[in-house]
């Protein structure tokens, strides 16, 4: 495994075209795209990594996986009355279907659906408490107390988050938010601003792996369902392409991270800040395609 990761990291770092870094969150716009890290946390407890696997990055939408798990823990299957389970075929921040579909977002991984998940785990508590709970969940999953929120990234996104505010107001107009738009957005932007290294993210992803020594933070049924949603909706309008190329459930973030699950074997985290046209890590996706090809870990 180590030599495979070393080879994949070397190939990625030699690529002259790493894609372009997201610029709509000013605090993330200045990051050097020529970085690449990968880490694999195996079901037997071994962890392998290569490249910039110890560099912290903003997990952004990868946080939606932890948020969904927490929301399900808080409100259970009630959440499915407020958010669907189908791919949207549209970009992560699209507002288009919300009007046609009466304020019910297609799935919990597009921004509109993630705002409903955040509202669900807020469930009447204050943002500080809810975020404390989210961090406790992530730290327990990774077995690492150092994982934290980058306040500057959160503030930067709140300042410029007109599209997310629009989505939240739109949801509220349909009665699909319980907390105020300000509280939901403040909590959501802090959730997205969690920072982790590839190594920490791979370890945190183990709660989605079906093996005896993994952190048992969600039931077997929920773990399967979260993996199913990652496969069908985890890369927005690029979900079909990721399933086609990689064949494993994955959740991407605009910070360039991707969490990928090999359901009975391992959690894999890959990071490179340059993005492809869907807003998902370009080198990260290409590296996962190579990884899946070389390991034969596609679920199909
Ligand atoms: O809400 C946003 O726009 C960001 N905090 C997260 C978006 C994101 O990561 C999309 N993923 N590729």
164 ligand 1 Cβ < 6 A: yes
Q: Write the pLDDT tens digit of every residue in 42-67.
A: 999 999 999 999 999 999 999 999 99
Question: What value does the mean pLDDT of the chain take?
Answer: 97
Residues 100 and 181 in one domain: yes
Is there a domain that residue 300 lies in?
no
ipTM exceeding cut-off 0.85 for this assembly: yes
State the CATH number of the domain containing residue 150. 3.40.710.10
* pTM, 2 dp: 0.98
Q: 93 and 142 share a domain?
A: yes
Q: In the listed set 194, 215, 240, which residue is the last one of a domain according to the structure?
A: 194
Identify whether residues 169 and 270 lie together within a single domain.
no
At residue 251, the pLDDT reads 98
Q: Ligand 1 atom closest to Cα of 192?
A: 5
Same domain (yes/no): 151, 139: yes
pLDDT tens-digit series, residues 140-161:
999 999 999 999 999 999 999 9
Separation of 253 CA from ligand 1 center, angstroms? 6
Report the separation in Å between the CA atom of 65 and the middle of ligand 1, taken as the mean of its atom positions. Answer: 12
Q: Is residue 93 part of a domain?
A: yes
Ligand 1: centre distance to CA 61 (Å) = 5
Residue 253: pLDDT band with limits 50, 70, 90: very high
Per-residue model confidence as pLDDT tens digits over 103-140: 999 999 999 999 999 999 998 899 999 999 999 999 99
In which band, very low, low, confident or very high, does the pLDDT at 246 lie, cut at 50, 70 and 90? Answer: very high
Do 40 and 162 have their domain in common?
no
60 lines ligand 1 (CB under 6 A): yes
Are 179 and 31 part of one and the same domain? no
Residues 202 and 158 occupy one common structural domain: no
For residue 282, the model assigns a pLDDT of 97
254 falls within a domain: yes
Q: Which of 133, 168, 194 is the last residue of a domain?
A: 194
Q: Is residue 229 part of a domain?
A: yes
Q: Do 204 and 241 belong together in one domain?
A: yes
Residues 165 and 67 occupy one common structural domain: yes
Pocket of ligand 1, candidates 23, 61, 162, 230: which has the most ligand atoms within 8 Å of its Cβ, to mutate? Answer: 61
Q: Is 231 among the domain residues?
A: yes
Q: Are residues 22 and 110 in the same domain?
A: no
Cβ of residue 280 lying under 6 Å from some atom of ligand 1: yes
Structural domain span for residue 23: 2-60+195-295
Q: Taking residues 244-267, what's their average pLDDT?
A: 98
Q: Are residues 185 and 273 in the same domain?
A: no
Q: Is beta strand 194-196 parallel, antiparallel or unpaired with respect to 148-149?
A: antiparallel
pLDDT band at 264 (very low <50, low <70, confident <90, very high): very high
Which residues are the active-site residues? 61, 64, 188, 236, 254
User: Into how many domains does the chain fold?
Assistant: 2
Which one of 194, 218, 242 terminates a domain? 194
CA distance 141 to 144: 8
Tell whether 155 is covered by a domain. yes
Q: Is the CB of 187 under 6 A from ligand 1?
A: no
Q: What is the CA radius of gyration of the chain?
A: 17
pLDDT at 257: 98
The tokens for 191 are 């959730």
Q: What is the pLDDT of residue 178?
A: 97
* 201 and 251 housed in the same domain: yes
Q: Is the CB of 191 under 6 A from ligand 1?
A: no
174 falls within a domain: yes
């Amino acid at each position: 495994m180590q030599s495979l990761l070393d080879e994949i990291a070397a190939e990625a770092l030699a690529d002259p075209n790493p894609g372009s870094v997201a610029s709509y969150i000013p605090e993330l716009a200045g990051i050097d795209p020529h970085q690449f890290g990968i880490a694999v946390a195996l079901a037997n407890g071994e962890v392998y990594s290569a490249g910039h696997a110890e560099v912290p990055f903003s997990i952004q939408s990868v946080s939606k996986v932890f948020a969904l798990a927490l929301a399900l823990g808080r409100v259970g299957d009630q959440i499915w009355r407020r958010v669907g389970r189908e791919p949207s075929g549209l970009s992560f921040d699209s507002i288009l279907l919300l009007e046609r579909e009466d304020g019910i977002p297609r799935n919990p991984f597009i921004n509109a659906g993630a705002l409903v998940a955040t509202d669900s785990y807020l469930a009447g508590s204050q943002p500080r408490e809810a975020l404390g709970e989210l961090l406790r969940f992530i730290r327990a999953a990774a077995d690492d107390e150092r994982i934290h929120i980058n306040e500057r990234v959160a503030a930067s996104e709140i300042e410029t988050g007109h599209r997310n505010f629009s989505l939240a107001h739109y949801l509220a107009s349909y009665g699909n938010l319980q907390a105020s738009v300000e509280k939901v957005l403040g909590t959501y932007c802090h959730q997205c601003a969690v920072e982790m290294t590839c190594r920490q993210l791979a370890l945190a992803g183990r709660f989605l792996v079906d093996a005896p020594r993994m952190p048992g933070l969600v039931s077997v049924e929920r773990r399967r369902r979260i993996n199913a949603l990652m496969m069908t909706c985890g890369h927005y309008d690029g979900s079909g392409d990721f399933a086609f190329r990689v064949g494993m459930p994955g959740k991407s973030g605009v910070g360039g991270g991707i969490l990928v699950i090999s359901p009975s074997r391992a959690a894999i985290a890959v990071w490179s800040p340059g993005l492809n046209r869907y807003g998902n890590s370009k080198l990260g996706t290409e590296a996962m395609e190579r990884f899946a090809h070389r390991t034969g870990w596609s679920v199909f």
